[in-house]
């Protein structure tokens, strides 16, 4: 069950433009200031790129491109969980996903600037 992209995030990034003439090049939703930082923080916790993209309603290529820039600065560590048993990897992924869904409203509030500290 994938969560729907938050209407709060989409509304605040489009700045109230509802007609198509304001979105003449594409219907791309611009990044908020803290959104890319949230991607990095969630990746450091251990969420996968697919999980981050699904939670925020972005494509995986957008999240990957953002994280690839951070990897170039050597501030983000790569995870190699290939040697762990498959069952352990799946349990960890499901635990992180359920925790992410619980904290998603708090992350969205931080990204929109309503809170001062990330969850």
51-110, pLDDT tens digit by residue? Answer: 889 888 888 998 999 888 887 777 666 667 778 898 988 888 888 888 888 888 888 888
Please tell me which residue, 52 or 115, carries the higher pLDDT value.
52
- What gap in Å lies between CA 54 and CA 78, rounded to an integer? 20
* pLDDT score at 16: 52
Sign of CA dihedral 13, 19, 23, 28: positive
Please, which residues have CB within 8 angstroms of residue 55's CB and are 6 or more apart in sequence?
Answer: 3, 42, 47, 100, 101, 104, 107
The pLDDT, as a whole number, for residue 60 is 92
3-53 pLDDT per residue, tens: 565 555 555 555 554 444 444 445 666 777 788 888 888 888 888 889 889
**pLDDT at residue number 19:** 46
The C-alpha torsion from 71 through 45 and 112 to 10, rounded to 10°, is 80
């Amino acid at each position: 069950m994938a969560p729907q992209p938050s209407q709060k995030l989409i509304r605040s990034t489009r700045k109230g433009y509802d007609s198509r003439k304001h979105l003449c090049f594409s219907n791309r939703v611009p990044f908020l200031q803290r959104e890319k930082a949230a991607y990095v923080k969630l990746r450091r916790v251990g969420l996968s790129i697919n999980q981050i993209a699904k939670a925020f309603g972005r494509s995986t290529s957008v999240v990957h491109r953002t994280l690839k820039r951070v990897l170039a600065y050597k501030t983000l560590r790569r995870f190699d969980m290939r040697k762990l048993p498959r069952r352990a990897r799946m349990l960890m992924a499901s635990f992180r996903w359920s925790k992410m869904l619980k904290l998603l409203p708090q992350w969205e509030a931080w990204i929109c600037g309503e809170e001062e500290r990330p969850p």
